[in-house]
Structure 1
């Protein structure tokens, strides 16, 4: 009879690697980074940035990294693991918006001179909150779904195809939905189209440039979680 105390543990796979056997460190860290990048991007997105003919918003600095981390989560932990991260990000966004709104409406101290500046930068604008949430949910769920669908056809091969394919679909949907809700009626039609196209191209380009890093991160996390790396 085999002694269970000396029997090697079977390799962990998927979300079971994060949810069971006391091994949650890597999964939790990736979700934490995902939520931090999302929160900072949502704050940065309140400012329009213009470089000559290029028009975008401050969220473009970090937001592409949320899609890279979304790809990592889906590739390593599957759709269920990615869904948990997306829901966590949604909850963090709602909590941040509620917090900023409560701080905004709270009576300012007599010697606090920056109430107007606070409202201008962090004041909750329902339209932008709605735009951010709608774009985020549509884009992230499409990103995860497309990656899983491509993986179901290619198996462990062609990682680059599912990383880029999912990003193209997710980023375009996210950018279009956010821009439609936040900026239609504010930006003229040419500016709106420019905003969508530049945002989409830039975010997709970041994914392409970061592809070697994404490969490396996925391999490291899979090894940490006991998942075979091919």
Structure 2
């Protein structure tokens, strides 16, 4: 199977996963997805692949879904609930980075086979984490702000596509710019670096455009009372 086919399959799997989490666990499911997505994206991003003739990093899809999550929360619950997802993602990434840095310090047993792979992946994680945390914080808070700016101007449901895409388009440019410069500047040759930057942004934007029908579906589920909100007693 080609990388391009797998990329599309992965995108659909992520979108469907979000709807399943949301349908059966409500806001809590979206918060859980945010934690999963931020951790998974920062592991996948260390792998580079060829997509449509360009060099790109993995992680663009699953990371891009965090913008869909905050847009669903913004649309159905408001700015305050959307910001909670940002805080959860931020805390999840910090926790994972600290825990794994300690884990790779353990002296492995002679029978161990995982240490080299873990060290390869997670030894670069502090730089990736700093880049991701900075980019995530700035871009997500901008996305929430911009989403509500467009929602206040065009509150009708028929303009849902506009606030989803217009807010995310700028937010993901901020995210890609900040992340790539902190994480990859002088790590790769400049031609590879700029290829990663532009493909990162373009692919994230494609994900944002493709998630629009899923945002409409999530709103329909919410408005029709089909969301099973978890209640802690």
TM-score (norm 1): 0.81
- Which secondary structure does the structure 1 equivalent of 2:59 belong to? helix
The Cα shift of 1:173 comes to 0.8
Match of 2:214 in 1: 213
Counterpart position of 2:174: 173
**Secondary structure of 1:185's aligned partner:** coil
Matches within 5 A, 1:5-154: 25-51=25-51, 53-154=53-154
Over residues 135-167 of structure 1, what are the superposed CA-to-partner deviations in whole Å (9 max), with x where a residue is unaligned? 111111111110011111112341111000111
Higher mean Cα deviation, 81-90 or 47-56? 47-56
Q: Contact between 1:101 and 1:124, CA under 8 Å: does it hold in 2? A: no
Over the aligned positions, Cα root-mean-square deviation in angstroms equals: 2.0
CA-CA distance at 1:32 after TM superposition: 1.0
Poorly superposed stretches of 4+, deviation over 4 Å: none
Structure 1 portions without partners, runs of 5+ = 1-23
Query: Contact (CA 8 Å) 1:60, 1:203: kept in 2 or not?
Result: yes
Structure 1 CA distance for aligned equivalents of residues 52 and 27 of structure 2: 41
Q: Does structure 1 conserve the Cα–Cα contact (< 8 Å) formed by 2:61 and 2:204?
A: no
Gaps of 5+ in 2: 1-23, 228-233
**Equivalent residues, number:** 203
1:45: how far off? Answer: 0.9
Contact persistence 1:97–1:124 (CA under 8 A): no
State yes or no: 1:191 paired with 2:213: no
Contact 2:74 2:81 in 1 (8 A): yes
Alpha-carbon distance between aligned partners in 2 of 1:147 and 1:192, rounded to the nearest angstrom = 30
Q: Is the Cα contact below 8 Å between 2:42 and 2:128 reproduced in 1?
A: no
SS at match of 1:111: coil
Q: When you count helix as a share of all residues, which structure comes out higher?
A: 2
Aligned to 1:160: 161
**Is the radius of gyration larger for structure 1 or structure 2?**
1
